[in-house]
Structure 1
Amino acid sequence: MEGWFWRVTQPASGEVVVALAGVNRDRRGRSWGTVGLAAHPGGLAACAAVPGAQADRDGTVHIGRALTAGPRTVDLDLGPRARLQLELEAPVGWPRRAFGGLGVAHVLPGLSQYWHPWLLRARAHGHAQAGGRRIDLDGAIVYAEKNWSNGGFPEAWWWGQAHGFDDPHACVAFAGGTVALGGLRGTATALVVAAGGRLHRVVGVGPRSPALRVGVDDRGWTLRGRTASGLVLDVEGHANGTAPHRLPIPVPAEGRNLQDAAAQHLAGHLRLTVRRRGRTVYAGTSVLAGLERGAGAPVRPR
């Protein structure tokens, strides 16, 4: 499975649109795709399993007639009530470093899941059709990521992403869940924060890792990361009274989507605080945060 995810946030209007795509291969070696679109407000969540899917080395993805996407464009069509046409301008990608969102874990062969936030920010040009609404996305902020594995999604996972802070350049993204490497089993989480003109990444194994403590339950999502340079990154999120959108995940070997597996709040509340030696370097709040929990037992809070 190779999965792509785009999240478009329009702070001025409070609208959010997310698009997802997966290029999968079943147990017979046949390719097929997952395509989905969701929007807030309005509650739209549309998805389909589509025969025929291909991911090219130049970053272009083709899934039947439902989706064509590349580094600068997304064209999604699930019918007249679920469409997205998007161009990405002034992209700010991941820095040219040796490792991505998971740090050195990216070089480990056989890890059960990999994750990378390849686009931290871009300016949108385009629109979406969400049910009976046409959503103007010109000037909105775009975030994009990729995940991949040999077996699909983990047994349980937690995820979040936010723009819409008072600093338009600030970005938060995190992803975690159950992981396996050979005979080893456990949980791991990666947190990425862009604030104050700097990008910070913390990866922790287990919910009480010295580098990254994680708590996810019915009350919300909490993370506290400590960088090698001495920064403390605090992230606190909750649903903000919003109902989750129920999104699908692919079951690659079986050639089908598992419906409603991911409960994602498209307009949650997220508070970010960055401190150094007890002094606040940055503090901001977004009320358009994406916050998600997947199937399985959650991590208990610290």
Structure 2
Amino acid sequence: MSFLDRYGSTGADPLFGDPRRAHRGVSMEGYFWRITDPATGRVVIALCGANEGPEGPWSTIGLAAMPNGFVRTEALDGSWTDPDGLGVRGGFAGQGPNSTVAPAFAGNDRELHVNLGEDAKLDVTFHDLKPWPHRLAGGSSIFQSIPSLNQYWHPWLPGGRAAGSATVGGETWEFDGAQVYAEKAWGREGFPEAWWWGQAQGFAEPTASLAFAGGIVTSGPMRVEVTALVVMLPDGRVIRLGDPVISPVRTTTTDEQWHLSGRGFGWRIEVTASAPLDQAFVLPVPLPSEHRNTPGDLEHLVGDLKVTVSRFGRHVWTGETSLAALVHGGLDRVRAELRRRGLDDTLTHAPPVGK
């Protein structure tokens, strides 16, 4: 194994590296796509966690949609991640990554296919891609070069277009020119006490996009709260704030409110968002060494969000959307919410209340 391979196996990437590639050696590497269709108000998310445990590779796979509230997740044997670029396959049940049998999940930078049953399918292709533009570092910025962090994050596709179809429950939806966003996150096993995340499209300006991710980053004795905030302006410029010293983002979250305030390099970005707790999906996170999922995410697929961007005191852009995804995660928090809903607190997924 080369030095770069050993370095990558810790989860780290060198500056000017490519965080989209697989990090063989980490416990989990998660891939996430979100499709937003402002014309219909429909949103679909698809996720695949490629996990490595003592019994071999396995996958956390999920598909969820709004406004119908459909959700299905599975823990399936088999996973493969692309060492040369963006790609993941999961749920091929001992067939091997090169089998002619289609896996339950297969995604790359141009297409995505999910099959969790006749009523849980997604088949889409992507075009007019607006990939991450900064070669120096990915979404984790300088933190991407630090080995063995508990979590790394990279929004490799801030924007683009999707075409295809989704079968979610008893409905089949067609997409033609819908908006797409994609990211990946990876690291060692274990989760912080709490984390927060959001992603938004569906603004009046169709090329605009926003994403943020935060929590407690740890490596050995190092422990620091970090929130990364990324905005793609309507003109295509991508701004990233979140380095604790030079571009800090202050974050306040509750179960129904999110507020972020970031500044750096002359930029100032303010984000306010809200969504009712009853409308959150319960989604799983993996326990790689135990070969199983556990409830860990409270994710809203649709919420209200407003973002205001200025530079050197001059207003640049204000955007609003009612199609924002919002998360306030934490293992204890999610179990408490399942109990509040009168459900078994070991359920790995659940729809919004009333769905």
TM norm. shorter chain > 0.5: yes
Match of 1:226 among 248, 256, 263: 263
5+ residue gaps in structure 1? none
Cα distance in 2 for residues equivalent to 1:85 and 1:219 = 32
Cα distance in 1 for residues equivalent to 2:225 and 2:182 = 23
Please state how far the C-alpha of 1:133 moved relative to its aligned partner: 0.7
Contact 2:303/2:326 (CA < 8 Å) preserved in 1?
yes
Give the corresponding residue for 1:200: 239
Q: Which has the higher helix share?
A: 2
Match of 1:62 among 85, 89, 113: 89
Match of 1:271 among 301, 306, 326: 306
Match status 1:287 vs 2:314: no
Match status 1:3 vs 2:30: yes
Please state how far the C-alpha of 1:240 moved relative to its aligned partner: 5.8
Identity %: 42
Please state how far the C-alpha of 1:43 moved relative to its aligned partner: 0.9
Residue range with higher mean Cα deviation, 136-145 or 238-247 = 238-247
Contact 2:255/2:328 (CA < 8 Å) preserved in 1?
no
Contact 1:240/1:267 (CA < 8 Å) preserved in 2?
no
Query: 1:165–1:24: structure 2 CA closer, same or farther, 3 Å change rule?
Result: same
Please state how far the C-alpha of 1:205 moved relative to its aligned partner: 4.1
Structure with bigger gyration radius: 2
Give matches, 1:88-167, under 5 Å. Answer: 88-167=126-205
Q: Which has the higher strand share?
A: 1
Cα distance in 1 for residues equivalent to 2:247 and 2:63 = 37
What TM-score does the superposition give when structure 2 sets the normalisation length?
A: 0.79
Please state how far the C-alpha of 1:152 moved relative to its aligned partner: 4.5
Query: 1:53–1:241: structure 2 CA closer, same or farther, 3 Å change rule?
Result: closer
Give the corresponding residue for 1:214: 251
Q: Structure 1 runs of 4+ off > 4 angstroms?
A: none
Match status 1:53 vs 2:79: yes
Query: 1:288–1:278: structure 2 CA closer, same or farther, 3 Å change rule?
Result: same
Secondary structure of 2:177 counterpart: coil
Secondary structure of 1:12 counterpart: coil
Give the corresponding residue for 1:238: 274
Please state how far the C-alpha of 1:278 moved relative to its aligned partner: 3.4
Contact 1:113/1:154 (CA < 8 Å) preserved in 2?
no
Match status 1:42 vs 2:56: no
Residue range with higher mean Cα deviation, 197-206 or 124-133 = 197-206
What TM-score does the superposition give when structure 1 sets the normalisation length?
A: 0.92
